[in-house]
Structure 1
Amino acid sequence: MKGYAAAAGSSTKQRRWKWLALAVLMLVFFSMLVPLSFLLGLHNGFPVGWLSDESSPLDSFEFDGNGIIEKNSSKGDSRVEQMLRNFTPSLPEEIVQDIAEGGDMKLNYSKRNEVSEQLTSGLTGVASHPESEVLTEGVDSKMHPALDTKLGARVGVKLSDVSNFAGAQKSCELEFGSYCLWSKEHKETMKDAIVKRLKDQLFVARAYYPSIAKLQGQENLAREMKQNIQEHERILSEAISDADLPPFVPEKIQKMEETVAKANGCTVECSNVERKLRQIFDLTVDETHFHMKQSAFLYHLGVQTMPKSLHCLSMRLTVEYFRERPLDVDTSHAYKVNDPSLRHYVIFSQDVLAVSVTINSIVTSSMDTADVVFHLLTDRQNFYAMRFWFARNSYRDAVIRVLNIEDLNLSNLIDFGVTQLSPSEEFRVSIHNFDEPQLLHMRTEYLSIFGHSHFLLPEIFKNLKKVMVLEDDMIVQHDLSTLWNTDLEGKVNAAVNFCKVRFGHLETFLGGNINDRSSCLWMSGLNIIDLDKWREHNLTGIYLKLLNRFHNGSEATWRTSALSASLLAFQDRIFSLDSSLVISGLGHDYSINEDMIKNAVALHYNGNMKPWLDLGIPTYKKYWKKFLTQGERFMDECNVLH
């Protein structure tokens, strides 16, 4: 029995040792498998081998059938995208999605109240179209009221993916919007060209070194290459720009070139070197794309966020209104505000400084202002500031009436949500040319169109027969009295045609309701409206039916439905004005002829780069600043445009 017990104990110990040995073998196996998988690049998203670059490939973003931006599920979270999320921790999800696509923060305002009301473009689609892509661009106070609580985040709508065309590639402007226009004009001289060359040499040397170190008889070359790599690393650890480099750098560059040339002459396994160089290339592309996204975000943040000085101005005026309680213009000039024989100008705005410049330009350019009445429609948030401003400042004999659109009795339109301020919308449209279908690249144009609030005009001004509608990013350089007397020949809306985009380009998006595919689109900005003809054709009713058709209940389609509904509602009802009367694009186009600007009746700063922003186009700012109110105490105290 004793011997049996000893044998049993010995057997138990042997089994214990077998399990222990197996565990050790497994541990050794996995300890070898992990670094092996790292070296072979079998992990997810990290650089391969011993490369030290801390970039990783970007996750790919795709559009589904509805145009919604999605991240490719076949890849893990990219560290670049994680950095982007860390860079904007407090922003709404819509804005972060917008940045993922690189939208021009109609940062779609792209606009200006957009923290920005537009950042770069969260996308939600409404249709699929093989020939065009439509993105909303945030513009000034032209934002959906529901976005105010989000600091005006703009939402973009993708109608088609450029990848529908074989070999098509997104242009910078298509992907990043008006940021690309701005960045080209403000491209800085490279101050680290030599530093970048050193990095390139270092990358190539690192790719060759592992293969050279394994070759028999190349010990001296391997030692030389290792020494050059260490010297380059030492130099780059202390230098950011070319000015930081030591004077002997040219010698080091020449020495590294000779070493790499020797390595290139050796017989090495090309697949290994190719793989490492491809990894370096991919990492560099990813890093470049990340910095483009980051730069686009900062640009859109700048153009879509209300500057501190303008916020200060609005708040100061609001406080002073409740202190002084100015005279009510509706009472003192009641006989004028409803007189159809006078000239009535209507402006929808949320920016007191912008609208004051527009009104001042009209008054300054008019020969007689005794018959001029301005109707300024705003929201409750800006109502008191605007009322106090125009009570403090006189504009010759013109009457200025400020209305809060949220207080108007428009109960029959409540169900459609049109009672909140929704001024003009701006859209970035990328299209293919009909006459050159073989070309895969797309061109991008910028449109400005009536918002939902414009279709309340017959309800708000029941006693008027005609009004001229302007936007707050307009300035007028000549008397508008002649234009006011234009015979519309039975049409409802006199507007400037925009023939760079035609109805046929948006055929699918407009639901096949187009009468003439070759008809030009029209631009808002300066429009003469025949209210009698509007009522006769029941344009508001037609618009609401179209709005109900294109709006599917989402916040994104609420804004984008304005494009389709406005275009179709005014179809065949537009009286074409001479295109030289109004020059558009001063908020995004750097190439407008100065003679055309000087001779134009009105200038339209549509686009992201508004003249009151630091990022505005400097060449065009002087035309806008000429009509700023001078000697205004609150502007000086808030440091407006100083």
Structure 2
Amino acid sequence: MPAQNKLSHELKQNIQELERVLSGSITDADLPPSIEKKSERMEAAIAKAKSVTADCNNVDKKLRQIFDLTEDEANFHMKQSAFLYGLAVQTMPKNHHCLSMRLTVEYFRDDSFDQELTEKYSDPTLQHYIIFSGNVIASSVVINSTVMHAMDSMNQVFHVLTDGQNYYAMKHWFLRNAFRDAVVQVLNIDHLIQDYSDKTTLPHLNSPLEFRISFYNSGNYQQCMIEQYLSIFSHSHYLLSEIFKNLEKVVVLDDDVVVRQDLSTLGNLNMGQKVMGAVQICSVRLGQLKRYLGENSFNKKSCSWMSGLNVIDLVRWRELGISETYWKLVKNMSMEEESTVLASMLTFQDLIYALDSEWIVSGLGHDYGISIQSIKKAAVLHYNGNMKPWLELGIR
């Protein structure tokens, strides 16, 4: 209050003097003799302050200042919390990281490696599954769950594409662990990228991308904001036709899925002239993604599609030059997630064979509202979203 500046100054001075004295004292015996006089001056200042009549406008002004300061502090903590949450979901748990390091050391200590069944790796008559991952445990869960539910694991071949950092750990793990009669090949994509450097300048492995989109959904009575995670092929996926030149059809699995039924029928799926089989998300149509897709020509009513479980006809892929189309689209774009969504959606426009929705249920890593019935019916559970099952913040 402007009229009480002198009193305000007196109160502040007394408070500061008492703080200095009390901060250096632990017991009453530590207090200096002058404490009684300081306390008396403080009590007198408080009595004066109590006798002053406060104007309602001043009280209102002070309360607004406190509110604004509190709101600013709350916003700061919310931003800090969001940052730490984002950091947590992108970080490999310590025990997983330590496992990978230990496996790498064991790989170089062990000089008795098993003979790999290289002839099976390129046999087009077998069932081939592709996994992009740098997570040993997650990859193992995908393979183990697929094998355990297979009618015949003898014909199953898994190709795990990982980076140089995790290559030897993956190699050692899958050489030392049997998955019934299936065979597992581990490939270092860092070396493969060097072989195809004319197609891309990517320096490392790109796992499937998860991109959170938001758009307004207009209902009959109100307009509400909808958020959805789209799982999309990364740049590395567009090397498949060149890495596996002898294969004709493959099933691509993300490393955040758990398989609960036999997938062998996907190998005999007749997709006609389509290139890829995927579960379509018709709650998100391309027209609703316009701010991500830009001014490119596309069918606004087309459904978006998800990675997680994808059947790819590599013969048709090569005939249509899918990889070339994709790289042409991203050539003049920045290597960011939005450009990948744009290029992937436009590359596969009208080339998606719609799989039955019961093949896979997505959203287990972000959506609390998925029904138990949907989970029980699904052949594959997809934990797309931030809350991966190997993280402590996953949905219970």
TM range (shorter): 0.7 to 0.9
Mapped pair 1:379 → 2:163: yes
Mapped pair 1:395 → 2:223: no
Q: Provide the aligned length of Structure 1 versus Structure 2.
A: 357
Mapped pair 1:611 → 2:389: yes
Identity of aligned residues (%): 54
For 2:312 and 2:118, locate their aligned partners in 1 and report how far apart those are by CA, in whole Å. Answer: 22
User: What one-letter code is carried by the residue in structure 2 that aligns with 1:528?
Assistant: V
Corresponding residue for residue 600 of structure 1? 378
Corresponding residue for residue 244 of structure 2? 461
User: What one-letter code is carried by the residue in structure 2 that aligns with 1:360?
Assistant: N
**CA contact 1:410–1:459 (8 Å) conserved in 2:** no
C-alpha distance 431-481 of structure 1, shift in aligned 2 (>3 A): same
**CA contact 2:157–2:183 (8 Å) conserved in 1:** yes
Q: CA deviation at 1:607?
A: 1.1
- The normalised TM-score by structure 1 is 0.53
Mapped pair 1:345 → 2:129: yes
Corresponding residue for residue 363 of structure 2? 585
Mapped pair 1:500 → 2:283: yes
**CA contact 1:493–1:528 (8 Å) conserved in 2:** yes
**CA contact 1:413–1:419 (8 Å) conserved in 2:** no
Q: Deviations over 1:52-100 (max 9, x none)?
A: xxxxxxxxxxxxxxxxxxxxxxxxxxxxxxxxxxxxxxxxxxxxxxxxx
Q: CA deviation at 1:442?
A: 2.0
User: What one-letter code is carried by the residue in structure 2 that aligns with 1:501?
Assistant: V
Mapped pair 1:311 → 2:81: no
Q: CA deviation at 1:511?
A: 2.9
C-alpha distance 307-412 of structure 1, shift in aligned 2 (>3 A): closer
Q: CA deviation at 1:366?
A: 0.4
Mapped pair 1:558 → 2:336: yes
For 2:347 and 2:114, locate their aligned partners in 1 and report how far apart those are by CA, in whole Å. Answer: 36
User: What one-letter code is carried by the residue in structure 2 that aligns with 1:525?
Assistant: G
SS at match of 2:331: helix
C-alpha distance 301-510 of structure 1, shift in aligned 2 (>3 A): closer
Corresponding residue for residue 50 of structure 2? 222
Q: Deviations over 1:292-338 (max 9, x none)?
A: 22333333333222111111100000000001135365xx3122111
User: What one-letter code is carried by the residue in structure 1 that aligns with 2:330?
Assistant: L
Mapped pair 1:542 → 2:325: yes
Which runs of 5 or more residues in structure 2 are unaligned? 13-44
Give 2:310's match in structure 1, choosing from 507, 521, 527: 527
**CA contact 1:507–1:514 (8 Å) conserved in 2:** no
SS at match of 2:134: coil
**CA contact 2:193–2:202 (8 Å) conserved in 1:** no
For 1:415 and 1:575, locate their aligned partners in 2 and report how far apart those are by CA, in whole Å. Answer: 27
Q: CA deviation at 1:510?
A: 1.5
For 1:542 and 1:295, locate their aligned partners in 2 and report how far apart those are by CA, in whole Å. Answer: 41
User: What one-letter code is carried by the residue in structure 2 that aligns with 1:450?
Assistant: F
- The normalised TM-score by structure 2 is 0.84
Corresponding residue for residue 78 of structure 2? 292
**CA contact 1:547–1:565 (8 Å) conserved in 2:** yes
User: What one-letter code is carried by the residue in structure 2 that aligns with 1:278?
Assistant: R
**CA contact 2:212–2:227 (8 Å) conserved in 1:** yes
Q: Deviations over 1:462-519 (max 9, x none)?
A: 0010000001101100000122222112100100111222111222432322431011
Mapped pair 1:483 → 2:266: yes
For 1:420 and 1:388, locate their aligned partners in 2 and report how far apart those are by CA, in whole Å. Answer: 21
SS at match of 1:507: helix
Coordinate RMSD, CA, aligned:
2.6
C-alpha distance 304-408 of structure 1, shift in aligned 2 (>3 A): closer
SS at match of 1:442: strand
User: What one-letter code is carried by the residue in structure 2 that aligns with 1:547?
Assistant: V
Mapped pair 1:336 → 2:114: no
Corresponding residue for residue 198 of structure 1? none
SS at match of 1:316: helix
For 1:409 and 1:279, locate their aligned partners in 2 and report how far apart those are by CA, in whole Å. Answer: 58
Q: CA deviation at 1:522?
A: 0.3
For 1:507 and 1:303, locate their aligned partners in 2 and report how far apart those are by CA, in whole Å. Answer: 28
**CA contact 1:445–1:500 (8 Å) conserved in 2:** no
For 1:562 and 1:352, locate their aligned partners in 2 and report how far apart those are by CA, in whole Å. Answer: 26
User: What one-letter code is carried by the residue in structure 2 that aligns with 1:386?
Assistant: M
For 2:286 and 2:221, locate their aligned partners in 1 and report how far apart those are by CA, in whole Å. Answer: 17
Between 1:298-307 and 1:346-355, the stretch displaced more is: 298-307
Q: CA deviation at 1:562?
A: 1.2
SS at match of 1:386: helix
Correspondence 1:36-115 to 2 at 5 A = none
For 1:549 and 1:496, locate their aligned partners in 2 and report how far apart those are by CA, in whole Å. Answer: 30
Corresponding residue for residue 405 of structure 1? 189
User: What one-letter code is carried by the residue in structure 2 that aligns with 1:366?
Assistant: A
SS at match of 2:179: coil
**CA contact 1:450–1:566 (8 Å) conserved in 2:** yes
Q: Deviations over 1:99-134 (max 9, x none)?
A: xxxxxxxxxxxxxxxxxxxxxxxxxxxxxxxxxxxx
C-alpha distance 535-341 of structure 1, shift in aligned 2 (>3 A): same
Corresponding residue for residue 575 of structure 1? 353
Q: CA deviation at 1:286?
A: 1.6
SS at match of 1:521: strand
SS at match of 1:458: helix
Corresponding residue for residue 215 of structure 2? 431
Q: Deviations over 1:582-640 (max 9, x none)?
A: 0111111112111211221000011111111111111xxxxxxxxxxxxxxxxxxxxxx
For 2:315 and 2:338, locate their aligned partners in 1 and report how far apart those are by CA, in whole Å. Answer: 28
Mapped pair 1:510 → 2:293: yes
Higher strand proportion, which one? 2
Q: CA deviation at 1:271?
A: 3.1
SS at match of 1:377: strand
User: What one-letter code is carried by the residue in structure 2 that aligns with 1:444?
Assistant: E
Give 1:281's match in structure 2, choosing from 67, 74, 84: 67
For 2:389 and 2:234, locate their aligned partners in 1 and report how far apart those are by CA, in whole Å. Answer: 22
